[in-house]
Amino acid sequence: MKFISGNLAGIASVSAVLLASSCAYAQESINITVVSGYPPTASWVKVFEDSYIPAVDKKLAEKNEYKINWNKGFSGTIVKPRGELEAVSSGIADMGIVVPPFHVDKLPLFNVSFVTPFATTDLHLVTETVSRLAEDIPEMKAEFDKINQVYLGSSGSVDNYQVVCKSAIEKPADFEGVKVVGAGTNLRYFQGVGAVGISSNLADYYNQLQTGVAECASVWAEAAAGFKMYEVAPYYIKADQGAVTSFAVSANKQFWEGLPDPVKDVLRETAAEYGQSLADYVVDASAAAIETYKENGGTVIEYTQEQREEWAAGLPNIAQEWAEQTEAQGQPGNAVLKAYMDALRAANQPIARNWDTE
């Protein structure tokens, strides 16, 4: 009996080893190089690294069929900022956090939130809306297809564009002749109030304010506090110009086509979750940033809804201009604009100007 028992124990032991080896062998490893030119200190990279990647790994581990080996090409190790789109298109990277505002010639429809200021400060809603429009309007995803990419989901790090200034700007009319630094489309938000726009980038704002090159900067709360702008621009003008989606997670088309369907499903569904996780992070950081501004001697000047409407009314209709330009390129700009504004109206947002109905 002892002999039989020993044999059974041995057989069980060998079987366990074989089973473990079989499970390990069955788990296929997939290498993914993902890029952003920005460091993990940037909110969108931080949340991707801390939320998206672990969530994907956890979902795949539950089924024990596939495992991803991540090569994190952040901080300019593979591409510099603005280089993400080309890297994913060419196959240098398998996935990337692409920045549509840097590529309005290739991804115009994904910039709808940038041309509709003073419409909403709800980043969760904006993220969800743009992502849904991309599913409902085929031409949006087609923009990525044309550049050899597969769109997975939109996200944003700007919950609400505001203005920081060296002196108190009590009302929109006080911006007349004031020099404002900003980046890209958001400088157009100042055309209707007579400000002088200066194109720049976030990293240079502090020095430009300090040296007098500019008197104000177009920025959001987290960045304003993070770059300690309260030291050179102690007045925080809460104008609520609105939230925007600045990013899209995408994959190289050939890489995507070679993936197993279960992995595709996880990468895509987690991209939607990432957009909301980033919004959570940014909104929390924004609230803390405003307190930081005040704690360091900053003064918050909050504009009323009437002042927001006054400001918005004085602007050229940049949304209609954008829609006409995209229509001229054969893209459904009018349909995207209307669908976007309809979604905000349905959510009862404090819209200062109905950009699509004029």
What's the pLDDT at 185?
Answer: 83
Q: At which residue do the structure tokens 């430009």 appear?
A: 208
Digit-by-digit pLDDT tens for the chain (358 residues) are 343 344 444 444 444 444 444 444 568 999 999 999 999 999 999 999 999 999 999 999 999 999 999 999 999 999 999 999 999 999 999 999 999 999 999 999 999 999 999 999 999 999 999 999 999 999 999 999 999 999 999 999 999 999 999 999 999 999 999 999 998 788 999 998 999 999 998 889 999 999 999 999 999 999 999 999 999 999 999 999 999 999 999 999 999 999 999 999 999 999 999 999 999 999 999 999 999 999 999 999 999 999 999 999 999 999 999 999 999 999 999 999 999 999 999 999 999 999 999 9
Rounded CA-CA distance 346/328 in Å is 29
Q: How many CA atoms lie within 13 A of 23 on its CB side?
A: 9
Report the length, in residues, of the chain. 358
What's the pLDDT at 26?
Answer: 64
The domains located in the chain, with CATH, are: 27-156+245-285 (3.40.190.170)
What's the pLDDT at 18?
Answer: 41
What's the pLDDT at 201?
Answer: 84
* CB-neighbour burial class of residue 346 (10 A; exposed 0-12, middle 13-18, buried 19+): exposed
For residue 304, give every residue at least 6 positions away whose Cβ sits within 8 Å of its Cβ, in sequence order, or none: none
Rounded CA-CA distance 358/324 in Å is 13
Q: How many CB atoms lie within 10 A of CB 119?
A: 26
Rounded CA-CA distance 242/237 in Å is 13
What's the pLDDT at 318?
Answer: 97
DSSP H helices, 137-260, are 138-146, 202-211, 221-226, 253-257
What's the pLDDT at 30?
Answer: 98
What's the pLDDT at 184?
Answer: 77
CB 222 within 8 A of CB 285: yes
* CB-neighbour burial class of residue 86 (10 A; exposed 0-12, middle 13-18, buried 19+): middle
Token couple for 144: 């990525």
What's the pLDDT at 57?
Answer: 99
**Backbone φ and ψ of 214, nearest 5°:** -135, 160
